[in-house]
Structure 1
Amino acid sequence: MTIREINFDGLIGPSHNYAGLSLGNLASTRHAGNISRPRAAALQGIEKMRANIGLGLVQGVFMPLPRPNNDWLAALGADFHLCNHALAANAMSASSMWAANAATVSPAPDTGDGRCHLTVANLKTMAHRSHEWPDTLRQLRLAFADGSAFAVHDPVPPAFGDEGAANFMRLTEEHGQSGLEIFVYGVSGGPYPARQHIEASRAIARLHGLSPDRTLYIQQSEEAIAAGAFHNDVVAVANERVLFAHEKAFADRDGSVEAIRERFPSLEYVEVSGADVPLDDAIRSYLFNAQLVTPPDGEMTLVVPEECRETESVWTWLQAHLASNGPIRRVEVVDVRQSMANGGGPACLRLRVACDPARVDPRFLVDPDKLDRMAEVVKAYWPEEIDGRELQSETLVRAVRDARNAILELMELGELSSN
């Protein structure tokens, strides 16, 4: 079995809009009410996937979920065209595009039964995301249907909030070896909710059969959450031996790093100080919500949004790190502005799954040719723009459904048609 890290990106859906539904996500709040451009957003995401393939990475994709979510509305006794605008906006959310929140993933070398385990996230904290998991689970069970290689779990009961891989990190010598799994939870976020509960993280560790001595729980910094780091991946990211973090990422910085190093002695810790990059700059630019990856050439690469280049303190730090011959050897810049305006950078858009690609349903894996065909469907069917005041328009609803059906037909994923 050959284990490689696969990045599964969420294709940005045709209902992508700026409703400002995510409390604590400052970018989402700042852009609430703006005109969104779903077609441009999806094409930007496709180009990011193409760039990853260009680096030599294995690339996967998840489909947009059915929108509006009429099953959810029916459970609330509501009709999409008759309900209030706020409820309709929650039902039309395209936030499943941020696949980092789809699930928590433990690769086979870490688990008790030697299978890759995935637990779909309940996302209970935010109404617009809380209804994603049933349709996300359907995709996970299709993509990872090989029961000899994968175990796909139902969500943790919603008494405890779980936001998936956005609050999870893994350190390992290389992806095919056993690693240290780090669950980052919140206690308080000041004016904003701490979305990941330690009880949910502990439940996932038990479900995945993780060894206690290879599992660690670290508390998020309240200061970081209050500043807009609603998920840990806004202030920290890990890849193989490297942990790249802002000094304000964890509630107890010194104790957290010491605990990690005790369990994983070969840790390479790369810290960005607040003096070099203020926390606000780090969050606004999404420096840490980048993809930290190891291409086949071994040159560890940080895939950052264009906003990093436009933020002086961030770009200065990155250039200095590259010049110092540090662990991060290369920086690649991508344009995901439509996602960024809703609070999601390159890392938000992908779920990392370390497994044998041959065991994954090939319909969920992409190459440049498939991306070309996906782009043609997007150009033909995705709305060019959406005014958030018109979310309940029958014309828009029909366009969103037609677009999703067209991409499912292209990908031969008719099993996902619904609603």
Structure 2
Amino acid sequence: MKSYEVNFDGLVGPTHNYGGLSYGNVASQSNSQQSSNPKEAALQGLAKMKALMEMGFQQGVLAPQERPDVAALRRLGFSGTDAQVIERAAKEAMPLLVASCSASSMWVANAATVSPSADTADGRVHFTAANLNCKYHRSIEHPTTSRVLGAMFANQQHFAHHAALPAVAQFGDEGAANHTRFCREYGEAGVEFFVFGRSAFDNRFPAPQKYPARQTLEASQAVVRLHGLREEGVVYAQQNPNVIDQGVFHNDVIAVGNGEVLFYHEDAFLETDQMLAELQSKLAKVGGNFQSVCVPRSAVTVDDAVRSYLFNSQLLSRPDGSMLLIVPQECQANERVWAYLQSLTSSGGLIREVKVFDLKQSMQNGGGPACLRLRVALNETELAAVNPGVIMTPPLYGSLTAWVEKHYRDRLSETDLADPQLLLECRTALDELTQILKLGAVYPFQIN
């Protein structure tokens, strides 16, 4: 039976703005308060989805969230009509209104952790929504994320869904941004690689001093238990706290893996040699041949990696066994990064080609190609059980681009977030989107 790695890309929401909400994310903070272009952002993301579909990769789409999140503002004490809630928040606590308008759910690498059926005890694909409790504006996402994933992967014979972990610091979970799976074939048993920034209960693990470590070891261990993963099919690694303090807020900013290959920066991890040996040993036991590509700091500094998002790229397997790397334009603009990529692809090694995409709107808020996609390994039967409305096709691409052109603004500033009309525009757009994607009622305004 054939198997695939399907990339489900986040559709950028109508309230895409530069609120500078993510402390530790250099791009997010440095572009704070600039005017954004939601329409351009959504079209850039759709263009990447279309391109990958046309290259022959399985591609899906994951819907955005309802924003502003009026219910979240009500929980914080704002009352009255929806328009009055927004007006009061704008006058009394603008940062809370900005947080309630965040379109950060576009970065669906943080939506959940996914384990394919070949790895799990019950032979189903398991999803655990990420609690994202390190940042308030992201911590409000998981209830809708769970409903959307449930509508996409509804067949209980093939798919199992778990609620987010307890929303406390000890179980900080950032989803697939800190999770990678290695395997020989997507339908075969593999090794799941969990990267954590700190331990909540064991002080033997060093912690960063400047920026928060968002993923805990204990959260990763809990996901392993929930998904029914075998001990021999799991490897844990600690992210280097020094690179977290340089703006590497998730592992997918400093490393990316796919198939049997890990592409990583020399300074990405602690105990790197031990980790690589464990990955090689465990993958070999299930018939795989683990290989790694280390980018030396002498060629690309951590600062270069953070500014260019070299590692926040998509590493894709081609039928001939070679790898394709999808990178943002910022990699081409960085002289050292581009020189490294040119030497990498000309060396005849594992990564043979680089394709560049314009994702400026997402990049300026701190998310690149890898942030925009959630990977789900599926066999043919499971793929057939996925809601067909969310699988990218030429007609769906046409419908979604027309939908964006119809509903999205081409300029959004912080003051625009206080406009009650924006909420109405967002709800109208999302109500139509659920019909296009055949999701049913997944948003609070559709349910309440």
Give the structure-2-normalised TM-score.
0.91
Asked if 1:213 corresponds to 2:232, the answer is yes
In structure 1, how many angstroms separate the alpha carbons of the residues matched to 2:247 and 2:401?
A: 32
1:334 equivalent in alignment to 2:357: yes
CA distance 1:214–1:417, shift in 2 (3 Å): closer
Q: What is the Cα deviation at residue 179 of structure 1?
A: 0.5
1:408 is aligned to 2:434? yes
Q: Distance in 2 between matches of 1:63 and 1:245?
A: 30
Deviation at 1:417, TM superposition (A): 4.1
AA partner of residue 87 (structure 2): H
Cα RMSD after superposing both structures? 1.2
State the alpha-carbon separation in 1 of the partners of residues 117 and 2 from structure 2: 11
Of 212, 227, 231, 2:246 maps to 227
Structure 1 equivalent of residue 81 of structure 2: none
- Report the equivalent of 2:405: 379
3-state SS in 2 of match to 1:13: coil
Distance 1:258 1:397 in 2: 52
For residue 117 of structure 1, report the CA deviation from its aligned partner.
0.6
Alignment partner of 1:170 is 2:186: no
Contact 2:124–2:158 at 8 Å: present in 1 too? yes
Amino acid aligned to 2:353: R
The CA deviation string for residues 188-244 of structure 1, in whole angstroms up to 9 with x for no partner, is 232111000111100000011100011111001111111111000000011001000
Structure 1 contact 92–391 (Cα < 8 Å) conserved: yes
Q: Which AA in structure 1 matches 2:193?
A: I
Worse-matched range after superposition: 353-362 or 401-410? 401-410
Q: Is 1:284 the equivalent of 2:303?
A: no
- Partner Cα distance (2:255, 2:365) in 1: 19
CA contact 1:10–1:350 (8 Å) conserved in 2:
yes
Q: Which residue number in structure 2 is paired with residue 35 of structure 1? A: 35
Alpha-carbon deviations, 1:370-416, whole Å to 9, x = none? 11110011011101110113311123222222222332233233412
Q: 1:141 aligns with which of 135, 141, 150?
A: 150
Does structure 1 residue 270 correspond to structure 2 residue 281? no
CA distance in 2: counterparts of 1:73 and 1:196, whole angstroms: 26
State the one-letter code of the partner of 1:271. C
Alpha-carbon distance between aligned partners in 1 of 2:441 and 2:431, rounded to the nearest angstrom: 11
In the alignment, which residue of structure 2 is the partner of 1:184?
Answer: 195
Deviations 1:76-103 (A, max 9, x none): 2223321211110111110000000000
- Among residues 219, 229, 249, which one is paired with 1:200 in the alignment? 219
Matches within 5 A, 1:144-159: 144-159=153-168
Change (3 A) 1:412 1:147: closer
Q: Report if aligned partners of 1:381, 1:406 keep a CA contact under 8 Å in 2.
A: no
Residue type of the alignment partner of 2:425 = A
- Of the three residues 333, 336, 342, the one matched with 1:319 is 342
User: Contact 1:336/1:345 (CA < 8 Å) preserved in 2?
Assistant: yes
Q: CA deviation at 1:297?
A: 4.7
3-state DSSP of counterpart to 2:281: helix
Aligned residue for 1:92?
Answer: 101
List runs of 5+ in structure 2 lacking aligned partners.
79-84, 199-206
**Structure 2 counterpart SS, 1:352:** strand
Which moves more between the two structures, 327-336 or 255-264?
A: 255-264
Q: Which amino acid counterpart does residue 56 of structure 1 have in structure 2?
A: G
List gaps (5 residues or longer) in structure 1.
Answer: none
Paired amino acid for 1:82: R
Aligned-pair CA distance for 1:256:
1.9
| Structure 2 partner of 1:126 | 135
1:300 deviates by 1.4
Matches within 5 A, 1:360-379: 360-379=386-405
For structure 1, which segment, 65-74 or 395-404, has the greater mean C-alpha deviation from structure 2 after superposition? 395-404
Q: Which residue of 2 aligns with 1:418?
A: 444
Q: What is the aligned counterpart of 2:368 among 345, 349, 360?
A: 345
Distance, in Å, in 2 between the alignment partners of 1:409 and 1:150 is 22
Q: Does 1:82 align with 2:88?
A: yes
What is the percent sequence identity of the aligned residues? Answer: 46
> In 2, are the aligned partners of 1:309 and 1:315 still within 8 Å (CA)?
yes
What amino acid does structure 1 have at the position aligned with 2:293?
A: V
1:121 is matched by which residue type in structure 2? A
Superposition pairs of residues 47-86 of structure 1, within 5 angstroms: 47-78=47-78, 79-83=85-89, 84-86=93-95
Residue 315 of structure 1 and its aligned partner are, at CA, apart by: 0.9
Opposite residue 102 of structure 1, the aligned amino acid is A
Cα distance in 1 for residues equivalent to 2:436 and 2:229: 38
SS in 2 for 1:304: strand
Letter in 2 for 1:91: S
Q: Which amino acid aligns with 1:334?
A: F
Q: Distance in 2 between matches of 1:145 and 1:295?
A: 29
Distance 2:371 2:443 in 1: 25
Q: Distance in 2 between matches of 1:156 and 1:247?
A: 31
CA contact 1:57–1:296 (8 Å) conserved in 2 = no
Q: C-alpha distance in 1, partners of 2:128/2:443? A: 23
Q: Which amino acid aligns with 2:430?
A: R
What amino acid does structure 2 have at the position aligned with 1:110? D
- Secondary structure at the aligned position of 1:229 is classed as coil
**Contact 2:389/2:436 (8 A) holds in 1:** no
Residues 389 and 437 in structure 2, CA contact (< 8 A), matched pair in contact too: yes
Aligned 8 A contact 1:383 1:400 in 2: no
Question: Which residue in the other structure is 2:201 paired with?
Answer: none
Q: Measure, in 1, the Cα distance between the counterparts of 2:229 and 2:439.
A: 33
